[in-house]
Chains A and B, each alone.
Chain A
Amino acid sequence: MIKPTFGDRIMIVSIYIFLILLGFVTFYPFWNSLVISFNSGQDTMLGGVTFWPRDFTLENYQIVFQDKRLLNAFLISVLRTVIGTFLSVLVTALLAYGLSKKELIGRKFFMIFCLLTMFFSGGLIPTFLLVRGIGLMDSFWAMIIPTLVLVWNMIIFRTFFQQLPKGLEESAKIDGCGNWQIFFRIVLPLSGPVIATLSLFTAVFHWNDWFFPSIYISSENLIPIQTLLRQVLNSNTVTSQMSQLDAGALAHMSNVAKVTGKSLSMATMMVATIPIILVYPFVQKHFVKGVLIGSLKE
């Protein structure tokens, strides 16, 4: 082993310092918001709440969890994420499996048909008018159907299916299994990691998307949590932030009177983020792999 030079030592030390700073800057906004959400709103207004709650309270969360509009929005988000991810991954994987078969008639044409959509798109307005034209406006399915097939995911699935050993499928075919049986009984069980990765990405998209509901959905009881949160954060003053909240919660609030618009929106933000934080550690290993499969294809 060659001894590191003096310059190298300086470099390593500055890298460590820089990375610690980066980690801090990345983590601090999240931590600070978490702290504020557990701190009494009035106390937060006095300023200086940074790393630790000064006046610890669960009030913010109590009020947030009593807000019927917010709970409903949370439920809509969960439904959208579960149904949207399931259907999207299913249809996309089926398409990918079909396209991974060399004997599929029209395979080349279908592939180009899919790939072209990655370079050309109709854009926002024609898509919006189409969704309205086919009567999806203000329906739960408007958040699911237009983005059902994700071509990018299809390519990753297809690459994966093509790498599977052919032997298993062939012996199943000899035993009289059809393509659908092979797909569900043999191929899917072998595809755990890629399904996990792509489901994660699809679920994150569905959970985080606030834009499509903001143009497609007008009924209040169909609005997902991110879109609701956007409306709350968008109202500039504390009073209008509070008026965004449910009347019942507001009445409750006048009794407590210690919460503020800021402390409530921080608690709401945490509620909207926690599902992602909970899933994140379990799939971290997988998504690194997923990103790499995707970029290799590029």
Chain B
Amino acid sequence: MKSEVITKSIKTNKKKSFFKRYFGQLDLQMMVIPGLVFIFIFNYIPMYGVLMAFQNYDIFEGMMGSTWVGLEHFKMFFSDPRFLEIMRNTFVISGLKILICFPAPIMLALMLNEVKNMAFKRTVQTITYLPHFLSWVIVAGFAMSILSTDNGSLNFALEKIGLIDEPISFLAIPEYFWTIIVSTNLWKSIGFASIVYIAAIAGVDPQLYEAAALDGASRFKQIFLITIPSIMPIIVIFFILEVGNLLNAGFEDLLILGDSAILRSVSDVIDTYVYRVGIGSGRYSYATAIGLFKAIISVGLLTLANYIARRNGNSLW
């Protein structure tokens, strides 16, 4: 009886004081309101805008007045003559990036860990982190300069050592495009991506190395027996994220370096196609549908990757 009264009074007390409590911390609430409003406008309203994938969006009518067409745009994409080519490019470019740009920073971190000369180590780190901070426009500018036919450094060097007689127009030949994209991405990301692994390696218990050395394991063996197993959880987490991003084959790099009619057949991926179809040709509903198709598969991939990782004891959530 008594306790009932008490809980009741607590309840009413709570109810009464909600507005009081809210206005009591109004200054605190005012801190978060601007940020939340911007997130609402620029993240949540576009999420609602995704519905136009199921409409024939009319710029003059807006979303309210446009007609609903169901899955028509999705069907249109699947029967698009470029569908297979775009999916192939997406998977190949993304796959090559995972195959090469994902393990490379791990190897760099492992190598840097063996370097005992601190000045040398710091110099390599400073140089390799730098490209991360350059824009793709600049990186593409470097690539164009180095690979150019009129005395670009690569053609110059290849001619000098006698490997080729005529300069090769690397950036205009589709066969070279994937190699160029992967190399420029590797160049830009290897150093910066290694930071996390360097930190993880620094956290490995030194006693493990001492024990292994006493047991007669060489430095080379210690890398495989101690360092790599110790940082495996982090590698797995980053790998999951990477797989979840499988359909993000790249955007700025492909737009800048692959932006010529000859290269479209190897450079167009889902994201660049959405841009060309949507912004370029103004087919908003069609482009949104393609984007949504990609988003749905991405969520599926991430879930699948996490499921596999969880079965092996490392998971993201």
Contacts and interface: CB of A to CB of B under 8 A. Distances in A.
Given A25-B187, A26-B131, A204-B133, A8 B220 contact: yes
B278 to A, nearest CB: 4
B116 to A, nearest CB: 8
B26 to A, nearest CB: 10
Contact of B196 (A99, A127, A262, A295): A295
A121 B47 contact: yes
Contacts, number: 262
Nearest to B114: A15
A229 B29 CA distance: 43
A47 B25 contact: no
B115 A280 contact: no
A168 interface: no
A204 B124 CA distance: 22
B interface, size bucket: 35 or more
A46 B151 contact: yes
Interface stretch (B75-83, B84-92, B137-145): B137-145
A276 B134 contact: yes
B304 to A, nearest CB: 15
Of residues B145, B199, B218, B295, which shows the largest number of chain A Cβ atoms within 10 Å of its Cβ? B145
A274 B311 CA distance: 48
B31 to A, nearest CB: 4
B31 A94 contact: yes
A189 interface: no
A174 interface: no
B35 A154 contact: yes
Given A123-B274, A209-B135, A26 B130 contact: yes
Chain B interface mostly:
helix
A44 B295 CA distance: 47
Contact of A125 (B120, B252, B291): B291
Interface in B4-54: 18, 21-22, 25, 27-32, 34-36, 38-39, 41-50, 52
B233 to A, nearest CB: 11
Interface of A: 2, 4-5, 7-8, 11-12, 15-16, 18-19, 22-23, 25-30, 32-33, 36, 44-50, 91-92, 94-95, 97-99, 101, 103-105, 110, 113-114, 117, 119-130, 134, 145-149, 151, 154, 178-180, 183, 204, 207-211, 215, 226, 229-230, 233-234, 236, 262, 265-266, 269, 272-273, 276-277, 280-281, 284, 288, 291-292, 295, 298
Interface of B: 18, 21-22, 25, 27-32, 34-36, 38-39, 41-50, 52, 59, 108, 111-112, 114-115, 120, 123-124, 126-131, 133-138, 140-146, 148, 150-151, 153, 156, 187, 190-192, 195-196, 199, 213-214, 218-220, 237, 241, 251-252, 255-256, 259-260, 271, 274-275, 278-279, 284, 287-288, 291-292, 295, 299, 316
